Amino acid sequence: MQGFTAHFKMIFKRDTYYIYSCDHRAGHCTRFKQHLGLLSTDYRNAKREQVKESCNRRLDNHTTCNPMKIKRQTMKQRILWLPATIIIICCTCALTCCSGGKDNPVDAERQTFVPKSPNYDDPTMWVTADGDTDGMGADIFYVVSTWEDDWTTTDGKICHYADVWNPEHRAHMADLELNKIAAYMSRGNRFFAPYYRHTTIQAFMSNSEDTVYQRTRLSVEDVIEAFDHFQAQRDTSRPLILAGFSQGGLAVVELLKHISDDTYAQLAAAYVMGYKVTKADMAKCRHIRPAEGEADTGVTICYNTVKDVKYVLPLIAGSAICINPVNWHTDATPAILHDTITITVSPEHHVLVATGYSASEYPPFRGFLNVGDIHSCEPWLYSECLEKNISVRAKAWREKNGQLR
């Protein structure tokens, strides 16, 4: 690897030797420790129990036993192994330090780019809309989904995140989703949605839970920071709505784990659209209570839509809960949407099954989404139902908290 300089240094200290592997370009050294045992020069102080055990084995075989001879033989054997041991350790160190390519975490870190973090004091980091004309609506905190591919900087570094300071990336989030969501969710409410460094689609296309978890940690941190800023500014006597689609739904689940009990008491409902809520999520978080009807409060609404249960994508839709946003049933009672579409919960698979709906407006995406699932429809197909339900739950929360007579 060009520009790489390293050296190895060995230091002996009584029964232990240390090998130091130093990478001058990275500016750090790694120490490997190895015990020499009887290679100590003071081998006359060797462990007597080892010698005694060896003698006993020889006496059992009716042979004579000379403890000092055994010590010398053991010493000789271990000295013979020393060069091989040192060579193996040195080779391992060299391979660890010098290996290049994608499997080297240090090398990978140098070749990736993480965009500058958002400043949520800056109004340009938010999409907002105020449609609460009578002051009796809810405050909605919405988290956008995924709009970016992996991209490369001018100096050749790959980036796995949206750049909130990039006008093009902000336009994707705002024009393709946030403004359209605000158009129906802000009616009678106040709408707030932060730009954040959402993880690119490649993490989800990996179909790896580990990859999604590792990469979305940065994204979730942005969302939590934005929410804390929002929560500190808003009137907490108003009902709170959390909502997010796809990766935004993932972030809503993580927000429910983050919020305090005091904040949870302000929650009218959380909407996880097009993402899963697992048993593990619910076991970790007492703030996640599955919705059971149309007007319960402090609950989580979760749904994913497919044409057939065979198209469930576990990474995204492998949920433990589901409710029908058309009739607000959790059982298999069918509901008719737009006169021709039937929406039914599969209680076994915890998804919505849509029949009588071609979903042609949502073409397959790279063989990953919309291939029998209808992932892209989640915040749009049910928009009228969601708009009405936000109002119903906000009103129910006010009644529960004595704000309505």
For residue range 152-180, list pLDDT tens digits in order. Answer: 999 999 999 999 999 999 999 999 999 99
Average pLDDT for 198-214: 98
pLDDT by residue (tens digit) across 110-119?
Answer: 589 999 999 9
Please write the tens of the pLDDT for every residue from 267-303.
999 999 999 999 999 999 999 999 999 999 999 999 9
Instruction: Please state the domain extents for the chain.
Output: 6-105, 115-400
16-23 and 6-13 beta bridge pairing = antiparallel
Does residue 27 carry a pLDDT above 80?
no
Report the pLDDT value the prediction gives residue 100, as an integer from 0 to 100: 40
Partners of 28 in beta bridges: 23
Beta bridge partners of 11: 18
83: confidence class by pLDDT, cuts 50, 70, 90:
low
CA distance 337 to 356: 10
What pLDDT is stored for residue 310 in this prediction?
Answer: 97
Strands (E), 63-189: 112-113, 126-130, 139-143, 151-152, 158-159
Closest CA to 300 of 277, 280, 327, 330: 277
Q: What is the pLDDT of residue 404?
A: 82
- If one counts every other C-beta atom within 10 angstroms of the C-beta of residue 20, the result is 14
Give CA–CA dist 161/147, Å, rounded. Answer: 10
The pLDDT score that the predictor gives to residue 121 is: 98
pTM, two decimals, is 0.75
Cα–Cα distance list, 372 to 66, 184, 268 (Å): 79, 27, 33
How far, CA to CA in Å, does 405 sit from each of 241, 395, 396, 400? 22, 11, 11, 10
Query: Per residue in 306-364, pLDDT tens?
Result: 999 999 999 999 999 999 999 999 999 999 999 999 999 999 999 999 999 999 999 99
Segment holding 298, helix H or strand E: none
Q: How confident is the model at residue 405 (pLDDT cuts 50, 70, 90)?
A: low
Tokens of 71: 């010590």
CATH topology classification for 115-400: Rossmann fold (3.40.50)
Q: What is the pLDDT of residue 96?
A: 43
pLDDT of residue 55: 41
* CB-CB contact of 20 with 8 (8 Å): yes
